[in-house]
Amino acid sequence: MKPIFFAILTLAAATLANAQCSPSFLGLYDTPHQAQDVVVDGMTAFVADRDGGLQIIDVSNPSSPAFLGSIPAPAFHAMTGVAVNGSIAYVSSRGVESLHIIDVSNPTNPTTLSDFELSDQGASSVAVSGSTAYVANGLRGIQIVDVSNPANPNLLGTYDTVSPNFNALDVVSSGTTVYATDISLGLFIIDASNPASPTLFDAIAIPGNAFSVWSDGTTAYVTGLSGGLTIVDVSNPNSVSILSTVSITGVANGISVSGTTAFVTHSGGGMQVLDVSNPASPVVIGDYTPLTAPTRMTVENGNAYIADFTSGLQILDVGSCVSNPCVPDFTGDGVLDFFDVSDFLDAFSAHDPIADLTNDGIFDFFDVAAFLDAFSAGCP
């Protein structure tokens, strides 16, 4: 009798793990040009809108996102990537490759602190960890910038190769470990602990050309222009390995992961949702197709925020796809109270990755602020 009982439990667990979900449309904000990247901080979305500059949008009511403020793109610049750390936004741009550092403490009146010109090779993405910014700048590789004085940034170093020529397309970071994609060479894991002389931990080819990357420091998720989604074990950065590859409709573009659920935008005009609780065997559990030209995306508090080249910022409800869409509900009981605060503080003190709410590999004031913002906003 016991074997049958445990078999039923196993089957039930598998069924729950692979349960289908149904993303649904919440809201749309039509940006003035072509939305290419988006990050969300609290109740505010920041969109890199190419010639439309940086667009700042109030998403406290996701069904009715509203304009807050903007910074126009300087002449001959197209804003391509965005990261936010505290009250500062960091924006990469192409045309005249640059890193734009913007004070967004008052989102209705953002001000440019500096425009730092980089080498002209195709800046397309930016990540920030502490006082260091990492810019994916095409054939110039990963350029590392000291932003401790945002009004006066300076170049610390560059990771590049000569043969074959590294062509950096996307970048994320966890502390001083940098994850970067090259469209033809794959995923690179870079040690930037000495920013003046960054070195390679390891690199691995990605099926179908690498595009975007997301990582929690243990696992990396890489979209491929024709290879779908590839999941890579990066727990030992000196020896990384592919765990699985799963096909995605069309060209896989943006990637975001929430808990054990991965979200991938694709050129078929949609977003696919995958259960990655077993990263060696991901399962598609949902799909949403009424998009037009989705690029990068992020998932926060049970909502997906998608930069769409044609229609601007699209917001979807993906709460049915994630196990606990309410970030500050650390106890998982559906109620926000003292016990959630206590559990967060315990995790924060222990440097548990679950308390790294800014996903920068650093446990600091900004994680506490992110928790307080989410706690104040409440749960869906």
Give the model confidence (pLDDT) of 236-274 as tens digits: 999 999 999 999 988 899 999 998 999 999 988 899 999
Sheet holding 142-146, edge to edge: 123-129, 132-137, 142-146, 154-159
Q: pLDDT (tens digit, 9 = 90+) per residue, 183-208?
A: 888 999 999 999 999 999 999 999 88
Q: Which residue, among 159, 205, 200, has the nearest Cα to 182 in the 3D structure?
A: 205
Alpha carbons 302 and 316: distance in angstroms, whole number: 9
Peptide bond preceding 237: is omega within 30 degrees of 0, i.e. cis?
no
Alpha carbons 357 and 84: distance in angstroms, whole number: 13
For residue 294, list its beta bridge partners.
308
User: Is residue 214 situated within a structural domain?
Assistant: yes
Structure tokens of 34? 């072509």
Banded model confidence at residue 6, pLDDT cuts 50, 70, 90: very low
Position 165 pLDDT exceeds 80: no
Judgement on whether residues 103 and 232 belong to the same structural domain of the protein = yes
φ and ψ at residue 11, rounded to 5 degrees: -65, -40
Judgement on whether residues 264 and 161 belong to the same structural domain of the protein = yes
Banded model confidence at residue 13, pLDDT cuts 50, 70, 90: very low
Judgement on whether residues 314 and 347 belong to the same structural domain of the protein = no
User: Is residue 236 situated within a structural domain?
Assistant: yes
Q: pLDDT (tens digit, 9 = 90+) per residue, 79-136?
A: 999 999 999 999 999 988 899 999 999 999 999 999 999 987 789 999 999 999 999 9
Position 11 pLDDT exceeds 60: no
> pLDDT value at position 181?
95
User: Is residue 369 situated within a structural domain?
Assistant: yes
Judgement on whether residues 311 and 369 belong to the same structural domain of the protein = no
User: Is residue 7 situated within a structural domain?
Assistant: no
Give me the domain span that covers residue 342: 338-377
